Amino acid sequence: MSSTTTLPPPLATNPTPTTSTRYTAPLTTAHTSGLPIIDISPFLSATSAPSARHKTAQAINAACVNYGFFYLSGHGIPVEKLDEILALARRFFALPLAQKNRIKRFDAGGAEGGDSARGYQGLGENVTGGLQDLQEAVDWYREWDFPGEDGGDGTVKTLQGANLWPEEPVELKSVYEAYIAQVQGVGKALVHAMGVALGLGPPASDDDDAEDENVFVRNCAASFWVMRMIGYPPLSTPLSPGSDPSQFSCGAHTDYGCVTLLLTDPTPGALQVQLRDGTWLNADPIRGAFVVNIGDMIERWTNGLWKSTLHRVVHRGDRYRVSVPFFYEPGFDSVVRPLRECVRRSGRAEMGEGGTYGEHLLTKVFSNFYYSKRTDW
């Protein structure tokens, strides 16, 4: 593959940062938690200097090799807007259960008209690794815009239902829809920067199968995104010294798609990221920045050069916590297969079967979304 970029190729194997290098490795300003803060603004402006893009791309490569996680700044969404998204989530979860259940998620194929994916999920309904998570949540997805199949008897097929919006707070739907449009723009800039970070080179043709720096942009053009609004009451189960908690707010998992742009309230010590040596790092929020992590599809596309990292939520504070992750995913019919250049650099055999993102997503949903959503592919 021809490439005019001067970026160094990613390392063939993922290094294990040692305690002494872990916090100094990132190329950009390091927050005290150790994850780098990366400025995406050069990829949001058409007139930015090549050197600024280069710096961002290099920082992304280092962060994806070392952590699979980083903070994203310079995204252009005002902090007041982010605060409003979180405040609306908090107001929704404070409503009585009966009201929240008006947008309850139901299984596909049932008389209730559910599609197994969209709507409100009560406390404990999400199970990770066999344990119930102490969280409640609402999921919205890109509208189903493929030819619909009749579920039979007027029922709805998996993922093919309409999004369910609460009547209260009344402004939630319009504010969230505007946010979804904005955050998709950030996702697009980010996956472009990731293509550059891999040193794939500028596009040479309009070939849909070309593996240039726009490969992720093309595959996410019709992103089958998910917006999830999560509420976490504090955990109260006792902690036994030296052993893992017996209950989680969200058990250890990897995200299964492309990139996650996570917005959380200021609660510290809740989200934890597993480092290569198996220890857990608190990824405390930075106001105005997203916590970003790459998902399993990026790991597959890069043939493991970039890892989709385990993370979990252990919220023991005294305040109800809210978070709103936006999952910027490939298109439903996008084929996700390791990029030839990444296979070559990794020196490993191709990972996975290379099916479509939608097939993988449906496998998750059919194997009971509530109970297996967060296991590996």
Ligand X SMILES: O=C(O)CCC(=O)C(=O)O
Residues found near Fe ion in the complex (CB under 5 A): 255
Q: Between residues 255 and 299, which has the closer beta carbon with respect to ligand X?
A: 255
The entry of Fe ion, ligand X, none that residue 230 binds, CB within 5 to 8 Å by partner kind: ligand X
Given candidates 10, 325, 331, 358, which one binds ligand X under the rule CB under 6 A? 325
| Token pair belonging to 271 | 């989200």
CA 43 to centroid of chain Cα atoms: 19
Binders of ligand X in range 220-249 (CB under 6 A): 228, 230
Rounded to 5 degrees, φ, ψ at 108 are -65, 150
**342 in Cβ contact with 198 (< 8 Å):** yes
- Residues ≥6 apart with Cβ < 8 Å to 69: 35, 63, 273, 283, 291, 292, 293, 309, 311
Given candidates 289, 313, 336, 339, which one binds ligand X under the rule CB under 6 A? 313
**CB neighbour burial string for 68-88, b if at least 16 within 10 angstroms, e if fewer:** bbbbbbbbebeeeebebbbeb
Given candidates 136, 139, 213, 255, which one binds ligand X under the rule CB under 6 A? 255
254 is a contact residue toward ligand X (CB under 6 A): no
Given candidates 53, 307, 311, 360, which one binds ligand X under the rule CB under 6 A? 311
Q: Between residues 230 and 361, which has the closer beta carbon with respect to ligand X?
A: 230
Q: Between residues 108 and 134, which has the closer beta carbon with respect to Fe ion?
A: 134
| Token pair belonging to 99 | 């009201």
**229 in Cβ contact with 166 (< 8 Å):** no
Q: What's the min distance (Å) between Cβ of 250 and Fe ion? A: 7
Rounded to 5 degrees, φ, ψ at 69 are -140, 145
| Cα–Cα distance, 44 to 314 (Å, whole number) | 34
72 is a contact residue toward ligand X (CB under 6 A): no
Q: What's the min distance (Å) between Cβ of 256 and ligand X? A: 9
295 is a contact residue toward ligand X (CB under 6 A): no
- Residues that bind ligand X (rule: CB under 6 A) add up to a total of 11
Return residues touching ligand X (CB under 6 A): 228, 230, 250, 255, 262, 264, 271, 311, 313, 323, 325
